[in-house]
Structure 1
Amino acid sequence: MTDDEPSCCSPARDDSATASSGRSAASNNPTPTADAGRETSGGETTTPDTSRMRRLPSGSFRMGTDSDVGFEEDGEGPAREVVVDPFSVGIHAVTNAEFYQFVRETGYTTDAERYGWSFVFEDFLSTEAREHVVGNAGGADWWVGVEGATWFQPEGPDSTVKDRLDHPVVHVSWNDAVAYCEWAGTRLPTEAEWEYAARGGREGSRFPWGDDLEPGGEHRCNVWQGGFPDRDTGEDGYRGTAPVDAFEPNGYGLYNPVGNVWEWCADGFDPAYHETTAAENPLGSAGGEDGESTDDSLRSMRGGSYLCHESWCNRYRVAARSKNTADSSTGNIGFRCVVDG
């Protein structure tokens, strides 16, 4: 995160001045690429479960925004016509239950587990968890590194997801998301696919349902209410994550494309995305040497999270973009999957 970009979105591991890495140099992740997730590590194609997916036809749509509401430094525009091939997309983000099945069958260890810590929103910490704090994110004291915070223990060692199995999995890095997709026979969506799906067939609207955040006073997504970061009133029914199928789906039947948790995309992040990528099936550069991914490669995220508020981040709009490094994990980043055709 730069000094002028609110760290409420999601801090990167190098944002923490005091949290140290306990990660071993060895890694059980294959070197991920933009196409990762299409085959298993053994080269055998996995048949994906598409029962909770929606197939979207090939189409063109106006991607990005020229609105003054957008963040110029994020490269939200200029808006342009983009074409995507047909694909199927998960109707909701990957759940804790689904990620548990992946871990149980593969023995996978996440980046947060290898590092020994992950970022947790400070208000969620218990007295016991506060004893495991190893640092703060630079410029955003509400983000703290907590030893033992993982996808299974989202707020630290004395927490569990056992009563949140239908919530989106969090504390997963881009590397972890790619590994899950490889196992499931799926892949991460490109930014263009993500926005095409999130818009639900609506052209130019700010949100999947229109331009008003709360049409008719109805809460349509899980974001922050109140004054950030001091108090979340929880008027939408949630403080922290909500079930993946909370609120009404968009026009394509997709739940929570905005709010709840950020969703990793396949693309490398570049503020010049709209000016440098192709008009058909665009994909941002992975970054790193020769375009290969590295842990400090910036990856794109979409959709905002339960910590977004118009007074601070305002990145829960369908055209909004954010970024983080491929090995970073926080309590407000998850992902959903797609398959070709």
Structure 2
Amino acid sequence: MVTVFTLIQCGNKKPTLELKENSEEVIDTIEVVDLSKLTIQKPIDLNTPEGMVWIPGGEFMQGAIPEDKMAMPHEKPAHKVAVDGFFMDITEVTNAQYKTFVDATGYITVAERKIDWEELKKQVPEGTAKPHDSIMQPGSLTFKKTRSPVPNLYDFSQWWNWTIGANWKHPNGPDSNIIGKDNHPVVHIAYQDALAYCEWAGKRLPTEAEWERAARGNKKGNIYFWGNDVSVLSQMVNSWEGEFPVNNTQVDGFERRAPVKTYPPNEFGLYEIAGNVWEWTNDWYRTDHYNKVSKENIVSVNPKGATTPYNVREPYAKEKIMKGGSFLCNASYCASYRVSSRMATSVDSSLEHLGFRTVASVAMVKNMKNN
């Protein structure tokens, strides 16, 4: 069940970075990197799990490059990080894969659960009135086109609709289904829904640093996973082409979600690492986190992000970072198919354009092998 829906604004408007009261954060322990101790190559005695690929460990600059004119303040400044090598799903988790998990465990996603107002009201400002029973029903957020151009592209409510009956099995609403769409990415997955799948599969969600390392590949100074040439966007990414949110010209072939492996992979063999659907990471979102860590002026090894969440625009929200952009991303308001792009969404939110892919460390794969 969605309780708080927040997406960090897109576009060129600059949000304030001023923090409010009770927004303190203790930065994760920062280590000086010793590259000789970093796991870069896959251990020769370890087989790559089916459907995954090895992401070599390494050091890189996380965040936006100076040449990226679409970069938002919370993508800056770029700062050095290093990550150990790990395995990552080649594609976003599909409907078929999630169904296998649900059939095996009986798991019920957040969007399908009965709403508990006593629990819900703990997550909204004190004094918030209880919504009418007619809308206190299981559901999720679905996208809707507008009939005419919208003058304010910072008001997301113009194209998002709370839809009772929308969930992973009914991605566009109760009258839709996923028949014949086994290889489409699963959506309407809240953070805990993704975690439940990970636990069952013996895997986990990536950190933001791991995700960016994987998406960027070995290229340095690139805005997109393929380089800096935006003219090939429609060949590489499922995004919104045309006037958002009125008309999608579908030059890239799709109006909404595309089957996985539709577009070319990046140099590590990852498909749809940009566009199609957003992907959960395990890091808390903090508006000022990049500013804080960059002041340390040393390399952070395997960073796990902020220790506490805080969004200056939604101080009550507890949000995780999502990466990669979606089929709704458009240069006019959201060019989030860029590698450094990052957005935030509440841990109990599920959306029509949000899914995930999993990762596994060397230790986790060894454990799979032993079991």
TM-score (structure 2 length as normaliser):
0.71
Q: CA deviation at 1:4?
A: 7.8
Counterpart of 1:25 in structure 2 is none
- CA deviations over 1:193-232 (Å, ceiling 9, x no partner): 00000012211211110112233x8611100000000000
Aligned length: 281
- Residues 1:178 and 2:195 are matched in the alignment: yes
Q: CA deviation at 1:77?
A: 1.4
Counterpart of 2:272 in structure 1 is 256
Contact conserved, 2:275 with 2:327, CA < 8 A, in 1?
Answer: yes
Contact conserved, 1:58 with 1:83, CA < 8 A, in 2?
Answer: yes
Counterpart of 1:57 in structure 2 is 56
Letter in 2 for 1:164: K
Counterpart of 1:305 in structure 2 is 326
**5+ unaligned residues in a row in structure 1: which ranges?**
8-47, 125-136, 290-294
Relative distance call for 1:3 and 1:264 in structure 2 (3 A) is closer
Identical-residue share of aligned pairs (%): 41
Q: CA RMSD in A?
A: 2.4
Counterpart of 1:118 in structure 2 is 140
- Residues 1:243 and 2:259 are matched in the alignment: yes
Q: Which of 298-307 and 58-67 deviates more?
A: 58-67
What SS does the corresponding residue of 2:96 show, helix, strand or coil?
helix
Of residues 150, 154, 160, the one that matches 1:143 is: 160
Contact conserved, 1:221 with 1:259, CA < 8 A, in 2?
Answer: yes
Contact conserved, 2:8 with 2:343, CA < 8 A, in 1?
Answer: no
- Residues 1:221 and 2:220 are matched in the alignment: no
Contact conserved, 2:7 with 2:345, CA < 8 A, in 1?
Answer: no
Cα distance in 2 for partners of 1:179, 1:270 equals 24
What SS does the corresponding residue of 2:75 show, helix, strand or coil?
coil
Counterpart of 1:5 in structure 2 is 9
Cα distance in 1 for partners of 2:335, 2:303 equals 25
Cα distance in 2 for partners of 1:87, 1:231 equals 40
Compare CA radii of gyration and give the structure with the larger one.
2
What SS does the corresponding residue of 1:109 show, helix, strand or coil?
coil
Counterpart of 2:248 in structure 1 is 232
What does residue range 66-105 of structure 1 map to in structure 2 within 5 Å? 66=66, 67-72=68-73, 75-105=74-104
What SS does the corresponding residue of 2:161 show, helix, strand or coil?
strand
Contact conserved, 1:225 with 1:234, CA < 8 A, in 2?
Answer: yes
Contact conserved, 1:58 with 1:86, CA < 8 A, in 2?
Answer: yes
- CA deviations over 1:116-173 (Å, ceiling 9, x no partner): 010011149xxxxxxxxxxxx9642211011100000111111111121101000001
Relative distance call for 1:321 and 1:108 in structure 2 (3 A) is same
Contact conserved, 1:286 with 1:297, CA < 8 A, in 2?
Answer: no
Cα distance in 2 for partners of 1:112, 1:51 equals 29
Letter in 1 for 2:191: W
Contact conserved, 2:48 with 2:87, CA < 8 A, in 1?
Answer: no
What SS does the corresponding residue of 2:159 show, helix, strand or coil?
strand
What SS does the corresponding residue of 1:120 show, helix, strand or coil?
strand
Cα distance in 1 for partners of 2:324, 2:339 equals 6
Q: Which of 220-229 and 266-275 deviates more?
A: 266-275
Contact conserved, 2:92 with 2:355, CA < 8 A, in 1?
Answer: yes
What SS does the corresponding residue of 1:208 show, helix, strand or coil?
coil
Cα distance in 2 for partners of 1:211, 1:162 equals 37
Letter in 2 for 1:160: N
Q: CA deviation at 1:286?
A: 5.1
What SS does the corresponding residue of 1:68 show, helix, strand or coil?
coil
- Residues 1:338 and 2:354 are matched in the alignment: no
Of residues 191, 194, 201, the one that matches 2:208 is: 191
Cα distance in 2 for partners of 1:235, 1:316 equals 16
Letter in 1 for 2:291: E
Letter in 2 for 1:229: P
Contact conserved, 1:286 with 1:299, CA < 8 A, in 2?
Answer: no
Relative distance call for 1:226 and 1:338 in structure 2 (3 A) is same
Cα distance in 2 for partners of 1:4, 1:84 equals 26
Counterpart of 2:341 in structure 1 is 320
